[in-house]
Copies of this chain bind each other. A is one copy, B any other.
Amino acid sequence: MARIPAVLFPTMYIKKQRLLTPGPTPLLPAALHAMMGSDIHHRTEDFRKLYKQILSDLKEVLNTSSDVLVLVASGSGGLEAATQNFFTSGDEVLVCSAGKFGERWVEIMKAWGMRATVLSAPYGEAVQPEAVEKALHENKNIKGVFVQASETSTGTEHDVKRMGEAVKKTGAIFVVDAITGIGTMPLDIDRWGLDVVVGGSQKAFMIPPGLAFVTISPKAWQLAESSKAPRFYFDLKKERKNALNGESAWTPNTALLLAFAEALKYIKNIGMDKLVANAQLLAQATREAMQALGLELFSSAPASSVTAVRPPAGMDSGVIIKEFRSHFNAIITNGQGSMKGQIFRLAHLGYFDFHDLFAIVAELEIILNANGCAVPYGKGVAAVQNAYAAVALPKPEPVAVS
């Protein structure tokens, strides 16, 4: 049988588009299909039943006694709501910044006239809980501490448990951007003192962008009483009042809510702990594969939401992103801002499975070889296979590449 002539490539073959980024993430089919039912009206009993179910399921999967409210907004809208509802211009706050999203907190503080002390970690490193403890100890006027549970831009995880314990002892509230943290790392909202937690629909919740949600602890509600920041659309008290009746303050995104209800059902069914373990295991297998291929991990405190990897020396990571798209129609992400070209990022949050990872690593091996970085075909894949076998097979007996 003769080989297919090379001239037919690369246009000849089927390339399914695959969205493999840390947000938007791959979509849950049942949730997508549910969006077709969106010829409903939001001031009806049917809608109220749906909305109440969503808020109740969300509370259940987040395992919190805090109030949980949903907003028609991107995650960034949720971050603003988490600021605007609790503070007043001139308030002193502490911001942990370890990447582009930490910098976004700083921008929000600036926009709202807050006096922010910024604890910065270099890209790829985490802000240490000790630094938070020290800063809180030195300044008793701090009213809020802001952090990313998982800093998506660098693939770095913060120790929000220890930070939360430190904040708990003060009068400040702990505001956690967990947009990529939820569903990829353990988050004990109540016990760890995570007063305000922000999430988004397009992450581990497996549905398209457009919904943010916020949890609010009693301590945060209390602080809200003294907040004098102007607000209209992101009015959490108004949302809470409406939510009690199964309604949203403003016109809700019905299509996404129908999808959200399905996704929550799916997550309840597999269990939030298992969803987290899934991301952790994929992240671990990815790290082992990158190491097997001789690639350096970017973060010293790697998150399970997304793994940031340095390209081989001398190679711009944009080449890898571009080749994933041109060869395999797979969309993966570059570094952001000054990290552009320095890293590529492989996501694990939400609707990702081993099938995805086997293929992604096989494709990366091809791309590396095609760009002057010789790696043995199958070596990274074997690392993923071994990681899978170690946990999924009755007798974990890793088989080495011969």
A residues engaging B (CB < 8 A)? 1, 3-6, 8-16, 18, 36, 270-271, 274-275, 277-278, 280-281, 284, 302, 327-330, 350-356, 358-359, 362-363, 365-366, 369-370, 374-379, 381-382, 384-386, 388-394, 396-402
Contact = CB atoms under 8 A, between A and B. Distances in A.
Contacts of A363: 354-355, 358
B384 A284 contact: no
A328 to B, nearest CB: 6
Given A14-B353, A355-B16, A394 B370 contact: yes
How many of these chains are in the complex?
2
A366 B387 CA distance: 11
Contacts of A374: 399
A13 to B, nearest CB: 4
Contact of A370 (B4, B5, B354, B389): B389
Nearest to A8: B277
12 contacts: A4-B280, A6-B391, A14-B275, A14-B351, A14-B352, A16-B356, A366-B385, A366-B393, A369-B399, A377-B401, A378-B381, A381-B381
A377 B376 CA distance: 12
Contacts of A401: 376-379, 401-402
Given A376-B400, A399-B377, A13 B277 contact: yes
Contacts of A386: 377
Contacts of A277: 4, 8, 12-13
Nearest to A400: B376
A330 B355 CA distance: 9
A6 B396 contact: yes
Nearest to A386: B377
Given A3-B390, A328-B355, A362-B362, A13 B377 contact: no
B391 A278 contact: no
Contact of A13 (B36, B278, B378): B278
A358 B402 CA distance: 19
Nearest to A12: B274
Contact of A376 (B5, B10, B15, B402): B402
Contacts of A281: 4, 12-13
A365 B390 contact: no
Nearest to A274: B12
The 3 closest A-B pairs by CB, nearest first: A378-B378, A358-B362, A377-B382
